Amino acid sequence: MTISNAEEPKKRRSVSRPPLPAAKAHGDEAHPVRNDERPFIVGIGASAGGLEALRLLLPGLPKNLGLSYVVVQHLSPTYRSMMSQLLGRETTMPVRDIEDGMLPEPNTVYITPPNRNLTLVAGHFRLVEPARESLPKPSVNRFFASLAEEVGESTIGIILSGTGSDGAAGIHAIKAAGGFTFSQDPETAKYNGMPQSAIDTGSVDWILPPENMGAEISLIVLNRGLIPVATQAASAPATLKTLLGKVRARTKVDFSQYKEPTLWRRIERRMAANHVSTLLDYLQVVDQTPVELDKLCKDILISVTAFFRDTEAFLRLDKVVADILANKQPGDDIRVWVAGCATGEEAYSLAILFSERLGASFDQYRLQIFATDIDLDAMALARRGVFAASSLAHMDRARLRANFTPHGDRYEINKNLRDVVIFARQDLVQDPPFLRLDLVSCRNVLIYFQSLKFRHTRAPLAGISEEASDGCHDTGIPQRRSTLGETPQHCKRWSLPGKGITN
């Protein structure tokens, strides 16, 4: 089951910002602006052809709603950027080059310098000298990921013209954190590689020409300030039950066991996207446009995953793999279940761990990794086993060369690893478990269920402790010829705390 990585996170840092003035909307009519600790920051990623797209985008952006705009444009390391001067002609907002430690201010456009990567840390811009690698700079993915972690649902990500796939993973991270995502319509882009790669993730909310994005952004910001979801939630359990019933009737996915804060955040996001401010209005939207139920379902299920995410956890898991193999002989079965596999990175990471431990004898064991999810679109990407170079940038170069085959700006998992991973749709709440398992990985699954209710469902993972459902991000349970709902005396249990796993 794909579970959103953004829900029940560590507390986000409050981004310190100057107080917002009374503002006007996109045109002349005055509108109130919500003054809280969630100021919107708009990340704009572009590469080749980006200047033309930016010249179309900037004049239409809202200038008085307190947003900060950050342009991350690929540039030659030796290029003396004139972006600030050129873009300053297209807007009445201040246009500034970013300096390390700078605090983003409202109604301002910021330009990332060449040959530096940019992140947002504790509310301040941080410029980082990039590693010696062939990836484009500055990295759109890296900045977008930092926005997703720092300001979450108050992030807006935009991808404009450019070659390659930089920004695609970042767009997915923003949406998973509850933010809003735009891509330039590829037909209007001088180079459609970056826009199309972002669209292919399934995480883009709006596909528009650059000149049309500003009006939509204005509506998002203005409507977001009018949605008192926290107040509505306390008095609307029947409304939530009605909405979840409609989702289940259309998608066959039951969210009744999910933690309510998770659900309310996603509902709030869809309400803002549809420009409505009450739950009753949103119910009317889903009745009039049933496809909105599919979008809500996908928003709840969306997850962020990565190869070897959280180094410390995987170092400990590698020792677990060694313990499992110590009791195996050539010809033996090794059965692993990855619940909530999303787009496959974790399942393939486990395959790599087993391959590295077994070495030349890898083919002498019957390794099967059952990777299950409820999201068919995510699994379609997982089955392909092809990943953007930017999503593998953090991987050790020797490990990358040993397990992947490069194809342009993408990498394909090697066939011997792809063949041991079996992808299948499974609903953890309703479907039966796999049997005779040596290891179960359930990162980003248990923490999103209401533990007291989850214990009493027919869920395959119900045998895992309540403590795991409350705070364990990695759980492996080796078992021999027993169901997952039991933990026989001769079985061991490993709990790997998920430091750094959720944002």
Could you give the CA distance from residue 394 to residue 126 in angstroms, rounded to a whole number? 19
Identify the sign of the CA torsion 413, 419, 424, 428: negative
Going by C-alpha positions, the residue among 218, 260, 226 that lies closest to residue 243 is 260
- The catalytic residue among 31, 74, 172, 473 is 74
Tell me whether residue 235 is one of the annotated catalytic residues: no
- The catalytic residue among 4, 154, 161, 166 is 166
- The catalytic residue among 4, 26, 31, 47 is 47
CA dihedral 289, 290, 295, 296 (to 10 degrees): 110
DSSP characters over 275-321:
T--SHHHHHHHHHH-THHHHHHHHHHH-----TT-SHHHHHHHHHHH
Q: Cα–Cα–Cα angle for 459, 465, 470, nearest 5°?
A: 95
User: What are the tokens at 288?
Assistant: 């009039």
Q: Decide: helix, strand or coil at residue 453.
A: helix
Peptide bond into 136 cis (omega under 30): no
Could you give the CA distance from residue 405 to residue 350 in angstroms, rounded to a whole number? 18
Going by C-alpha positions, the residue among 107, 103, 24, 15 that lies closest to residue 58 is 107
Could you give the CA distance from residue 287 to residue 29 in angstroms, rounded to a whole number? 31
Dihedrals phi, psi of 209, to nearest 5 degrees:
-65, 150
Could you give the CA distance from residue 486 to residue 253 in angstroms, rounded to a whole number? 26
Could you give the CA distance from residue 260 to residue 445 in angstroms, rounded to a whole number? 15
Tell me whether residue 81 is one of the annotated catalytic residues: no
**Burial readout 468-493 (b: 16 or more C-beta within 10 A, e: otherwise):** bbeebbbbbbbbeebbbeebeeeeee
Q: Decide: helix, strand or coil at residue 418.
A: helix
Going by C-alpha positions, the residue among 18, 20, 503, 12 that lies closest to residue 225 is 20
Tell me whether residue 47 is one of the annotated catalytic residues: yes
Please list the active-site residues: 47, 74, 166
